[in-house]
Structure 1
Amino acid sequence: MTDRSAGNNSPQFENLLARLRAFLARRHEFDLMTPREVDEIAHELNLSTSDLRTLARGRGSPELLSKRLKHAGLSAEALATSHSDVLRDLRRVCGLCQEKKRCTTDLARDKRASPARYCPNELTLTALSRGARGARPGAGIDADQAAVSEIVVSMTSSHPGKAST
């Protein structure tokens, strides 16, 4: 007979247990809110209530987006400064994405070519990446930077009253 408790000290088990505890804590906190509180938070974040609930239940999105940004030569910190509305939208889209399993598999294999087939953020990431490369010292505004500007304008204009200055 094997000792089943021996595997409970593994780093994988501890990681899984920590993730489960965090999930249950988030879920419990969210479940304690009144419907009005949930609606107010959703409104403040410019989300539907159902999107907010989906994002609250979601898992893995911040890590996946962070890796996608890294593959594109971008960082969340830099985007937070230069394009905070775009970063917020990237996070929302990633959190609502139905292809997390495929994305996780691709990122684990270090695949960079296939996301265009399924990642709803890929066009934005590509435009931001090209814009970042063109924004290096000595570079003028080019078509790639114009594409990034168009994305930023379209995102901020789709959220009237929510654009940051």
Structure 2
Amino acid sequence: MNTAAAVPKPGAAKPDKGAIARFIDAWRDRRELAAMAPGELDRMLGDAGLSHTDLPSVLDHARQVGVLLPAALTLHGVDADALAHERLDLLRDMQRVCSGCRSTAACRRFLADGNAAEHARICPNAYSMDRLDGVCG
């Protein structure tokens, strides 16, 4: 399966982002943070399974979640929409794992090439995607 179209080229329209990626965009917009009710940041972090100490790493690596994870799911035969409907808890865990991954350049390259075997070798979510193939795909 070729997913080259699933990994957008620079300047292309961006697909819908995952919950964590949307949160990160809001985090970067200081006006939105300033407008948050007391305790709202803690609630949002808790909902995402994160703590304040996770933020630096997540901020550095979260942008790929909204682009690379859906492409990876497709490459590995998993329907992201079905996964979100059937196992939202697992999808959120996969988003968290993806946001902490340090192999984004290789991931992007393997996804663009449609190389599932090489992608599986570097992806920390590969085991989960392999187990979901055919279940949510």
| TM-score class, shorter | 0.5 to 0.7
Residues 112, 28 of structure 1: alpha-carbon distance in 2 compared, 3 angstrom cutoff: same
Q: Distance in 2 between matches of 1:85 and 1:101?
A: 27
- Is the aligned partner of 1:66 residue 2:70? yes
Deviation at 1:82, TM superposition (A): 1.1
Structure 2 residue aligned with 1:117, among 118, 121, 132? 121
Q: Distance in 2 between matches of 1:25 and 1:48?
A: 16
Q: Distance in 1 between matches of 2:25 and 2:91?
A: 27
Between 46-55 and 123-132, the greater mean CA deviation after superposition: 46-55
Structure with greater Cα Rg:
1
Q: Which residue is 1:55 aligned to?
A: 58
Identity of aligned residues (%): 32
Q: Distance in 1 between matches of 2:26 and 2:125?
A: 29
Please, what TM-score do these two structures have when normalized by structure 2?
0.67
Q: How many residues align?
A: 117
Q: Which residue is 1:28 aligned to?
A: 29
RMSD of aligned alpha carbons: 3.3
Which runs of 5 or more residues in structure 2 are unaligned?
1-8, 15-23
Q: Deviations over 1:57-106 (max 9, x none)?
A: 53222111111111122121100111111111111111111111110011
Q: Which residue is 1:43 aligned to?
A: 46
- 1:71–1:112 contact (8 Å) kept in structure 2: yes
Paired residue secondary structure (1:120): coil
